[in-house]
Amino acid sequence: MDLESSTSLGMTHDVEIRVNTYAWTALAVFCMLGPIAHGAEKMWVSWSHKPPTSTHLPFWSLVLLSCSYILLIPGLVCTLFTYDISALSGLIKLQHGSESMIEFIETLSSTGCWYGAALVALYAMVIPGIKLLLLILAEVLRIRSPRSVRAARMCILTVQTISKWASPDMFAYVLLMYLVRELDHPPKLEAVGHLNLGFTSFALFCIFSTVACLGIQAPELPASETALAVASEPTPLRRKLRSVVPFVATFLFVAFAATLAIGASLPCMALHLDLDMLFEPTGHVPLSFKPFVETLGLVDLMHSEVNLWTCLGTLAKWGASGNANFFIAFVMFALFAIGFTVADMLVLIVAAWQLRPSSRHSNEVEMQGRSADEHQGPCRALSFARVLKKLSMLDVAIVGIVVVTLCGYVYRKSGVILSMDWGLLVLFVAELCHYATYHLVMGLAPQRPAASAEKAANDEVSTEDELSSDTTGSDEV
């Protein structure tokens, strides 16, 4: 018995080392891919003296996107996580399991949870496929005719918007492994949980494909269509709203900060083991062990819950100890779920105050006979806010927790019970404040100024002149 147990532990340790090596290597390679590809592109431009056109896919983005999709296949078929829960130093196996994305979808569909299987397949398989098809379609459309430029632009903007929505399950799996590890109370109850190759591959695919998609520049609309969007004098209602929106946005930011701080400190997800369901015929433990197990007092130890602040600190500690997957998980929560969301709200506040018209500027605009939007020009903060909104993943994390918890009922028959807690609702309110602020500020943003439309028209005319001169020259030859 002791020899078998030690051999099993040795094999598990070897597998963990291989997974950790793969994760650190993949993370390092992907972090270097973008800068190396961008540097190679710069060297090619300086050597060939041909600057790249803004309508083409950047080389670094193409390399990063292609390599990200290579990781999608192992992300779907390899094991996402493994867990093992036992009593009395492993003498009694209470619960164990492992799951890949494909296996999870098959389990959901075979148990009648068709809506859960559809949602997981939508996020993990359909959205990545749609992203790839839209990118190919955009590259085909942008080189055909001016009329197809609008469709190409819509394809790229759609890809950039939906790109982050391939990753909601990853956030829930991280919390699930945290909950399993929190059950560890040796020697009475021991619980281990590991994120495996599938998590590494799929998480890196989600992160770097999203970043790569944001590097693709959507083509500008033709001058004929741009002229229709020339900025005009804002209505009195619009001017009044712009004078009020900074105060509304500030109030929403305060509400966002408060609900985020409270929601992240409250439990958002919980795990409970039903002791009765762990025994045969529904569980793995022989029924003859039940009287002995009940005397151990395990019922009070078979419950764990998680809040984001505690989870972040624990993930940072596990990542600092050398676990690459938990380091990736920490980056996903700290940077993408919370960091970029907070940064987007701060930039939106700056943009809201930049949109507020002042009386002095209004008088200057009236004297010069220009529209307020034309005078104000583009707001740099709005551009940053659009990018940060596509990188912020608090909404993705919330949806992922909801989906995995609802789908987790298929494990109830084996004694594993997942549930949502009040902290998730408070985090949802915080994200509602984020969405409201974003759409409020973007809805009052100035339209493209007339100067830009005129410049685009001049560029189009000059391009046509160049093409006509080239054609004339070729005819003469």
CA triple 180-184-188, angle to 5 deg:
135
Weakest mean pLDDT among 116-125, 137-146, 218-227, 389-398: 218-227
The answer, yes or no, to whether residue 469 has pLDDT greater than 50, is no
In angstroms, the CA 178 to CA 401 distance is 13
Torsion of CA 247, 253, 255, 261, to 10 degrees: -160
CA 279 from chain centre, in angstroms, equals 39
85 forms beta bridges with 95, 191
In angstroms, the CA 336 to CA 334 distance is 6
For residue 171, the model assigns a pLDDT of 95
Q: Residue 401 in contact with residue 166, Cβ under 8 Å? A: no
- Given pLDDT bands bounded at 50, 70 and 90, which one contains residue 375? very low
Weakest mean pLDDT among 61-70, 252-261, 407-416, 419-428: 407-416
Weakest mean pLDDT among 251-255, 331-335, 338-342, 441-445: 441-445
Phi, psi of 279 (to 5 degrees): -95, 160
- Given pLDDT bands bounded at 50, 70 and 90, which one contains residue 224? low
- Given pLDDT bands bounded at 50, 70 and 90, which one contains residue 370? very low
Phi, psi of 117 (to 5 degrees): -60, -40
Mean predicted confidence (pLDDT) in 57-71: 91
Residue pLDDT, tens place only, 14-53: 888 899 999 999 999 999 998 898 888 788 777 876 665 5
Which among 203, 199, 204, 208 is positioned nearest to 78, based on CA atoms?
199
In angstroms, the CA 231 to CA 206 distance is 37
Mean predicted confidence (pLDDT) in 361-384: 56
Weakest mean pLDDT among 31-35, 74-78, 132-136, 293-297: 293-297
Tell me if residue 233 falls in helix, strand or coil. Answer: coil
- Given pLDDT bands bounded at 50, 70 and 90, which one contains residue 247? very high
The answer, yes or no, to whether residue 309 has pLDDT greater than 50, is yes
**Residue carrying structure tokens 């409020």:** 440
Which among 77, 83, 121, 118 is positioned nearest to 100, based on CA atoms?
77
- Given pLDDT bands bounded at 50, 70 and 90, which one contains residue 225? low
For residue 451, the model assigns a pLDDT of 40
For residue 155, the model assigns a pLDDT of 92
For residue 452, the model assigns a pLDDT of 44
Q: b or e along 34-46 (b: 16 or more beta carbons within 10 Å of the residue's beta carbon)?
A: beebbeebeeeee
389 Rama sector, left if φ>0, alpha if ψ -120 to 50, beta otherwise:
alpha
- Given pLDDT bands bounded at 50, 70 and 90, which one contains residue 217? confident
- Given pLDDT bands bounded at 50, 70 and 90, which one contains residue 240? confident
Q: What's the one-letter identity of residue 2? A: D
Give the predicted TM-score (pTM) of the model: 0.85
The answer, yes or no, to whether residue 331 has pLDDT greater than 90, is yes
The answer, yes or no, to whether residue 9 has pLDDT greater than 50, is no
Percent of the residues in the chain that have a pLDDT greater than 90, as a whole number: 49
Neighbour-count burial of 202, counting CB atoms closer than 10 A to its CB (0-12 exposed, 13-18 middle, 19+ buried) = buried
In angstroms, the CA 151 to CA 139 distance is 10
The answer, yes or no, to whether residue 231 has pLDDT greater than 60, is no
The answer, yes or no, to whether residue 461 has pLDDT greater than 90, is no
The answer, yes or no, to whether residue 439 has pLDDT greater than 90, is yes
CA triple 94-99-101, angle to 5 deg:
160
For residue 290, the model assigns a pLDDT of 73
Mean predicted confidence (pLDDT) in 151-168: 92
Question: For the chain, what is the mean pLDDT?
Answer: 81
SS3 content of the chain, % helix, strand, coil (to 5): 75, 10, 20
Most confident option among 211-220, 293-302, 453-462: 211-220
Mean predicted confidence (pLDDT) in 378-397: 90
Percent of the residues in the chain that have a pLDDT greater than 70, as a whole number: 80
- Given pLDDT bands bounded at 50, 70 and 90, which one contains residue 343? very high
In angstroms, the CA 408 to CA 171 distance is 15
For residue 366, the model assigns a pLDDT of 46
The answer, yes or no, to whether residue 442 has pLDDT greater than 50, is yes
Residue pLDDT, tens place only, 97-125: 888 999 999 988 888 888 889 999 999 99
For residue 53, the model assigns a pLDDT of 52
Considering all CA atoms of the chain, what is the largest pairwise distance in Å, rounded to the nearest integer? 100
For residue 447, the model assigns a pLDDT of 60
The answer, yes or no, to whether residue 390 has pLDDT greater than 90, is yes
Which among 227, 153, 207, 127 is positioned nearest to 459, based on CA atoms?
227
Most confident option among 28-42, 209-223, 377-391, 392-406: 392-406
The answer, yes or no, to whether residue 341 has pLDDT greater than 70, is yes
- Given pLDDT bands bounded at 50, 70 and 90, which one contains residue 464? very low
